[in-house]
């Protein structure tokens, strides 16, 4: 291969280009990123950046010198708008055509939005800084969506003295992911910290002074944050012939088509460890998948299936949440250590009798780490 192009300059894309160089690739290596900023870390956006504990400089994943050492054809602030997979060409927003022999798609996701006017989302550094500027003691903030992102933002806003209403359409926030018992425990923490958490509530649109609910009532707010999930950035692949179904569909090797691989939040691949097709929006997976895609692209004869145990974490108030596995679709939850009511416990998750995940709340990360090995042994047996 003489030219490899990586589209997407966040954690997965950066891991891919670093791995290619580390594995000995010396050809032209183009990294294309829609944002003008060099690769930066996203998890702190809803935590340290939003709270004002960090400034933006701390987010950089690599120094200028480290990026320079990769000898990249670096295209920041350049959006990919099309792909001709047959010809091996990526089209950019300015009309330029970038040819490739190998391609890694790592274009991530964007926030799902509600109809209406204004409001905030939280995906980019600019999003976080804009919202941070508006969070002051007494600010009335409505957060739509009580998933991990919405919950983290609500916790930060309460810490800043805001009046927070957290709206969630499901009866129990996060029940689909962590189970109703654990979801109730996390919900209670918000209520104890003064969040007005309302479940079974559907928001139909954002207005200039708040939100409108499905029953026709209006809820006033100074600021609105929408955290209702994400949409994979795959529109630029329309007409390319690649399979798109809630992400770029890849096989167990992360290959979407000959010479085309996917990595990070945008990639839906078959994880043979769990026997399921999955798309994971977690920081650790992005880096691991970027590395795996790069190795498999560069060394097709010795490529290996990408079969990780997914990992994620969340910080809410004084609670630390750590989890391994693929918890969605679980059938049973068992508290194997600690006490739910004290918000210090470890839970395991099973599907059809098989261990599929483990989650710890209020415990050190080392408490849940042994379960990663247990997941590997269970799935491989």
Tens of pLDDT, residue by residue over 62-97, are: 999 999 999 999 999 999 999 999 999 999 999 999
Tell me: pLDDT of 379 over 90. Answer: no
CATH number assigned to the domain covering 113-226: 3.50.50.60
Question: What was the pLDDT predicted at 180?
Answer: 94
Average pLDDT in the chain: 96
Question: What was the pLDDT predicted at 112?
Answer: 96
- Say how far apart CA 74 and CA 77 lie, in whole Å: 10
What's the whole-model pTM score? 0.95
Within this chain, domains 3-110+230-302 and 113-226 share the same CATH topology: yes
Tell me: pLDDT of 13 over 80. Answer: yes
Tell me: pLDDT of 15 over 70. Answer: yes
Tell me: pLDDT of 185 over 90. Answer: yes
- Say how far apart CA 321 and CA 244 lie, in whole Å: 32
Is residue 178 very low, low, confident or very high in pLDDT (cuts 50, 70, 90)?
Answer: very high
- Say how far apart CA 223 and CA 122 lie, in whole Å: 13
Task: Report the phi/psi class of residue 183: left, alpha or beta, with left for phi > 0 and alpha for psi in -120 to 50.
Answer: alpha
CATH number assigned to the domain covering 318-380: 3.30.390.30
Q: What is the architecture, at CATH level 2, of domain 3-110+230-302?
A: 3-Layer(bba) Sandwich (3.50)
Instruction: State pLDDT tens for residues 325-369.
Output: 999 999 999 999 999 989 999 999 999 999 999 999 999 888 999
Burial status of residue 341 (CB atoms within 10 A of its CB: 0-12, 13-18, 19 or more):
exposed
Which has more confidence, 257 or 381?
257
Q: Where are the domains of the chain?
A: 3-110+230-302, 113-226, 318-380
Residues 257-273 as b or e (16 or more Cβ within 10 Å = b)? bebbbbbbbbbbbbbeb
């Amino acid at each position: 291969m003489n030219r490899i192009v990586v589209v997407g300059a966040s954690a997965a894309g950066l891991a891919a280009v670093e791995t290619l160089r580390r594995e000995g690739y010396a050809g032209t290596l183009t990294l294309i990123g829609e944002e003008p900023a060099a690769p930066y870390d996203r998890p702190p956006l809803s935590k340290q950046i939003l709270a004002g504990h960090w400034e933006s400089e701390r987010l950089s994943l690599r120094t200028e010198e480290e990026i320079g050492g990769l000898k990249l054809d670096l295209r920041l602030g350049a959006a990919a708008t099309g792909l001709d997979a047959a010809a091996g060409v990526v089209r950019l927003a300015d009309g330029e055509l970038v040819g490739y022999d190998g391609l890694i798609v790592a274009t991530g996701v964007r926030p799902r939005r509600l109809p209406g006017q204004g409001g905030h989302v939280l995906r980019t550094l600019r999003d976080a800084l804009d919202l941070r500027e508006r969070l002051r003691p007494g600010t009335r903030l409505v957060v739509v969506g009580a998933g991990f992102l919405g919950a983290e933002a609500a916790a930060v806003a309460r810490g800043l003295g805001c009046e927070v209403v957290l709206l969630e359409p499901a009866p129990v926030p996060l029940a689909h992911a962590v189970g109703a018992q654990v979801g109730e425990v996390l919900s209670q923490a918000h209520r104890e910290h003064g969040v007005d958490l309302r479940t079974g509530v559907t928001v139909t649109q954002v207005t200039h002074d708040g939100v409108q609910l499905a029953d026709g009532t209006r809820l006033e707010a100074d600021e609105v944050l929408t955290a209702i999930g994400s949409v994979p950035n795959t529109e630029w692949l329309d007409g390319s012939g690649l399979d798109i179904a809630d992400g770029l569909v890849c096989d167990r090797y992360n290959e979407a088509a000959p010479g085309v691989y996917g990595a990070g939040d945008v990639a839906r691949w078959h994880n043979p460890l769990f026997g399921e097709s999955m798309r994971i929006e977690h920081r650790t997976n992005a880096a691991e998948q970027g590395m795996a895609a790069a190795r498999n692209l560069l060394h097709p004869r010795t490529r290996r299936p990408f079969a990780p145990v997914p990992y994620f974490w969340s910080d809410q108030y004084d609670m630390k949440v750590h989890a391994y596995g693929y918890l969605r679709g679980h059938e049973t939850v068992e508290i194997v250590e600690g006490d739910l009511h004290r918000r210090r416990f470890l839970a395991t998750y099973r599907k059809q009798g098989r261990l599929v995940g483990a989650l710890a709340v209020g415990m050190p990360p080392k408490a849940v780490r042994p379960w990663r090995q247990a997941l590997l042994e269970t799935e491989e047996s």
